[in-house]
Chain A
């Protein structure tokens, strides 16, 4: 199962590293990544594969949301299907 991880917040060093380390620790594979900074606002989207993950989507989400609060960015983790359903026919 695949999920989209979205990280939004004020840019600072180490965001990518902390998020990807946390994902690696849970055995979540990052398949695609896109990141931009617009006027100091950091936005990163990641397509992640949870097939071999040691945690459920809900647990992965809870851990990342917690991490987001720690480093001061907003992190969303959502099943890929919701975007396909809403934006593709």
Chain B
């Protein structure tokens, strides 16, 4: 009846290995709130979010207590806001403030979906919306923004890539008193997914149901601990252990997701099988890679070890959940992972190596601080590179960089909490002004034509 080993294993995972459910994210469609007036739309959006997600914090806390697994973040994602603001260009900020107010009223950590999807073309209202992002992020606290600039099916919108380089610079400038913190809440995607529960990139896609619960599990510490006892084991044995551990973690996420959906009167969407690190010791993806056998993350062998880790996590997780989605894989945000922070400080990891790593794992150049004087076109170049990796490899990639005003290589920046701290990393001194200046649309790759 009682299996001592299994019960104690679960308790140890939480107590000693930082196992948690990283987020319960409620996706809410705000399409019914669209009006031709900014104030009316904002009020309706505020009311709908407060009504639908009224109990999310309480339910998450109850579930955490009952199952003994901490649920760290409670979040809401909404219909991409650029679809809500088409009739009141220039007044988008009114909606942004209402969304932030709603997040504060219901007590969630973040609200995502101040977003635009412009992978193929950009309408005049989407351009106006994107131009509102720097101010919106400077005037709000809990609202996150994302823009999708490319996809495997449609190619890369190079006009949007150019614009986003400028928007990131403006956002940093608007929040310069907080070291460009606004940029930590802004992500540029290629192949953005509609059911991602993680921030800053969560939004509720138009293909989704009315109210959906998506859960993101975590547990780098659990995987790291499982590998500690495997000195000398071959790489296939390591992969097998990661798979089994991911299975257990995901099953807990699936249970919590099902129960949360029931209690919140929402559809169960997906479980996102991600290994999401935090800056605390023992919760690092980089340390898993070092446990596998690297002297430091960023050295030769890193990409291969990460590819195996990412794949094993997915294989274990897929069987544990009825519906897998979101970003699913290992995250490698620099400022949010103590092992990555140390590797960046010592110079073991560079932007070039990070870019290579994004070819084989979840997301992309994430939470990287770069010099404040980095040109907008260079940031656009980074976005274009990541988008190309995503487009060609049929995967999601993203860029979340912070050009920290007034800081340069050798300095560091402190964002606090889950966002951590980061040394400023060097970018290439060679520009790409002419390339970015061309604009236009990069055609979709040949393998997108599968019909």
Contact = CB atoms under 8 A, between A and B. Distances in A.
Contacts of B128: none
Contacts of A46: 2
A73 to B, nearest CB: 13
B8 A32 contact: no
A4 B2 contact: yes
Contacts of B251: 85-86
B258 to A, nearest CB: 9
B62 interface: yes
A27 interface: no
Interface string A34-63: 101000000101110000000001100100
A58 B66 contact: yes
A79 B66 CA distance: 6
B430 interface: no
Contact of B255 (A43, A61, A81): A81
A45 B4 contact: yes
A82 interface: yes
Contacts of B318: none
Nearest to B253: A85
B262 to A, nearest CB: 13
B255 A87 contact: no
Residue from B4, B65, B249 having most chain A Cβ neighbours under 10 A: B65
A17 B126 CA distance: 67
A79 B68 CA distance: 8
B4 A78 contact: no
A10 interface: no
B255 A85 contact: yes
17 contacts: A4-B7, A6-B8, A6-B11, A32-B1, A34-B4, A77-B68, A78-B66, A79-B67, A82-B68, A82-B252, A82-B255, A83-B3, A85-B251, A86-B6, A86-B249, A87-B10, A87-B248
Interface of B: 1-4, 6-11, 62, 65-69, 248-249, 251-252, 254-255
Given A8-B11, A87-B3, 9 more contacts: A6-B7, A32-B1, A78-B66, A79-B66, A81-B67, A82-B67, A82-B69, A82-B252, A82-B255
Interface of A: 4, 6, 8, 31-32, 34, 36, 43, 45-47, 57-58, 61, 76-79, 81-83, 85-87
